[in-house]
Structure 1
Amino acid sequence: MRDLSETVALVTGASRGVGRGIAVELGTAGATVYVTGRSVDDDTTEGVPGTVTETAELVTEAGGEGIAVACDHTDDEQVAALVDRIEDEHGRLDLLVNNVWGGYEGHDETFGFPFWKQPIDRWDRMFDAGVRAHFTTSRLVAPMMRAQQGGLIVGISAGDGEKFRGSVPYDTAKTAVDRLHQGMAYELEPDGVTSLVVYPGFTRTERVVAAFESVGDDLPESAHSPEFVGRAVVALAADEDVFTRTGGIFKVGDLAREYDFTDTDGSQPEPYDLPTDPV
């Protein structure tokens, strides 16, 4: 068991899915975790189950301290108020997980269409509620981390080397997330702040499970839980030498082997390989 009882963390987009899995695993390690999202009480995104209130309760039940904050990360004032609150209440932030991602909203059969048939609002969602949201939160927490001469920023992205991700807006947005965190690593290096990217594999999120159930298909055997991603983040946050990884991109399956952790069922899924050819 890795001990993060002295760690103050912020996980964005944690109402459900990967964000929730990360937050809960940080709670299991004893961390104080601010969890953010737009879904509160009965007001959930596109009717998908999960709220920040529920996630915060799960964090506390796991052994940490969960703090739910309703926050739309496309609203700069809300994000600034969130960061101010963390600074007022704790005076520091040790871990930021940039997980928020609105790119799957409005998901339909057009997702894999050629770019000239893609709805333009998909591009907007992926960049406004994805790339820009990661940038906004990072630029606001950077002064705190620079002042404390340490901290870890984890960007949750997706990909497999130079392979095309199957959709031009998606591929471009995820590549931008990668490059954003690599650029931040370069500029934060003199302050001892780590910025890196983590690639989950095929994850059993609520949206993914519902999508497969809707067409009567079984999930791939390689699919893993959101908590598996959380265990990767916990391992990185507990690693005293994590700064040596700054600017890197790491698959969860590879991290599981390096840090010797398993999924919730005791398995250790292989690193995810995209079934597409390099561009």
Structure 2
Amino acid sequence: MQPLHGKVALVTGASRGVGKGIAHALGATGATVYVTGRTEHGEDATVPLPGTLHDTAALVTSAGGVGIPLRCDHREDAQVQALFQRIMAEQGRLDLLVNNAWEGYQAKQRSGKSGFKTAFWKLPPAFWDTMHTVGVRSHYVASVHAAAIMVQQTSGFIIHMSAMAGQSYSDNVAYGVSKAAVNRMAVDMAHELRSSNVAVVSLCPFMVATEMLMARRKSKQLLPWMETPLFVGRAVVALATDPQIMQKTGGVLMTRSLAAEYGFTDVDGHQPKWEQQG
């Protein structure tokens, strides 16, 4: 069964991590999935981690969909505009945008600080700019282009990837504010797009076992408590295949709550719980 066969999706920031998991899950539904990022080949990597756009696209195709890798720096508006123009030239439609690109961890690395949990007055002001450029502004810019297409179609779905830090304190000020901004953007975009039958939500995973987190020894101790990137992808699929999705538009949704509602599980067959196990 391929419920999204014939549908076209765009997942930004999909070289690895959450974006890769989302693209993989969408591929299993038969969707055509465009994946963007800056790591087209291994030598392009901006972080010392495995994963490329071509790897993700191949995974999408092997899962049953059509994976199309496109290098795009989401800091550059002209590249983003060209991305959407190409999708329309090749497909003539766009059904789903998942705004996942985020540069927050790279911002932490460039700050020269030893950890992400650093008081705001100890961080350079540029930490704020990098955190918000790719992850808030980039979500907005991509949504501008996607919404213009979807309004004409009178159908479509935009998902902003966020985090629980948008609702309560976590790690540092700039991080929390960026996620709160993403959540607010979903609420307000949903308000303006409702009459065009275009849904917008913000989706918050808990702690995800990405390549970056799993490279840290301490993170491995939390593995039974974490979500895999594919679990997050299954949350996206559950929403994208829900015929009543307009009832959720404007919502700030949690992956674990959606698992209980829709009945999907993580790769090992269990549903991660809110409380730490063991």
Question: Is the shorter-chain TM-score for this pair beyond 0.5, marking a shared fold?
Answer: yes
Q: C-alpha distance in 2, partners of 1:151/1:21?
A: 21
Q: Report deviation, 1:155.
A: 0.6
Judge conservation of contact 1:36–1:52 (CA < 8 Å) in 2: yes
Structure 1 counterpart of 2:187, from 147, 172, 182 = 182
Structure 2 counterpart of 1:252, from 248, 251, 255 = 255
Q: Report deviation, 1:220.
A: 4.3
Residue identity in the other structure for 1:261: F
Q: C-alpha distance in 1, partners of 2:22/2:88?
A: 22
Match of 1:39 in 2: 39
Partner of 2:116, secondary structure, is helix
Q: Report deviation, 1:162.
A: 3.6
Residue identity in the other structure for 2:239: L
Q: Report deviation, 1:120.
A: 2.1
Q: Report deviation, 1:270.
A: 1.8
| Bigger Cα displacement from structure 2, 61-70 vs 176-185 | 176-185
Judge conservation of contact 1:97–1:155 (CA < 8 Å) in 2: yes
Judge conservation of contact 1:98–1:134 (CA < 8 Å) in 2: yes
When normalised by structure 2's length, the TM-score is 0.93
Residue identity in the other structure for 1:178: N
Q: C-alpha distance in 1, partners of 2:219/2:90?
A: 47
Match of 1:276 in 2: none
Judge conservation of contact 1:27–1:62 (CA < 8 Å) in 2: yes
Q: Report deviation, 1:138.
A: 0.3
Judge conservation of contact 2:203–2:255 (CA < 8 Å) in 1: yes
Q: How does 1:1-279 map to 2 (within 5 A)?
A: 3-42=3-42, 43-105=44-106, 106-107=108-109, 108-159=113-164, 162-210=167-215, 212-213=216-217, 218-271=221-274
Q: C-alpha distance in 1, partners of 2:7/2:126?
A: 38
Q: C-alpha distance in 1, partners of 2:203/2:172?
A: 20
Q: Report deviation, 1:205.
A: 0.2
Q: Report deviation, 1:161.
A: 7.3
Q: C-alpha distance in 1, partners of 2:275/2:98?
A: 21
Q: C-alpha distance in 1, partners of 2:260/2:219?
A: 33
Partner of 1:133, secondary structure, is helix
Quickly say closer, same or farther: Cα 1:40–1:161, change in 2 above 3 A: closer
Q: Report deviation, 1:2.
A: 5.7
Q: Report deviation, 1:109.
A: 2.4
Q: C-alpha distance in 1, partners of 2:232/2:275?
A: 12
CA RMSD of aligned residues (A): 1.6
Judge conservation of contact 1:93–1:144 (CA < 8 Å) in 2: yes
Q: Report deviation, 1:199.
A: 0.5
Please list every run of 5 or more consecutive structure 2 residues that lacks an aligned counterpart in the other structure: none
Q: Report deviation, 1:160.
A: 6.1
Q: C-alpha distance in 2, partners of 1:241/1:172?
A: 30
* Equivalences, count: 271
Residue identity in the other structure for 1:98: N
Partner of 2:104, secondary structure, is coil
Q: C-alpha distance in 1, partners of 2:219/2:56?
A: 29
Quickly say closer, same or farther: Cα 1:110–1:81, change in 2 above 3 A: same
Percent identity reads 48
Q: C-alpha distance in 1, partners of 2:157/2:137?
A: 19
Residue identity in the other structure for 2:18: V
Judge conservation of contact 2:256–2:272 (CA < 8 Å) in 1: yes
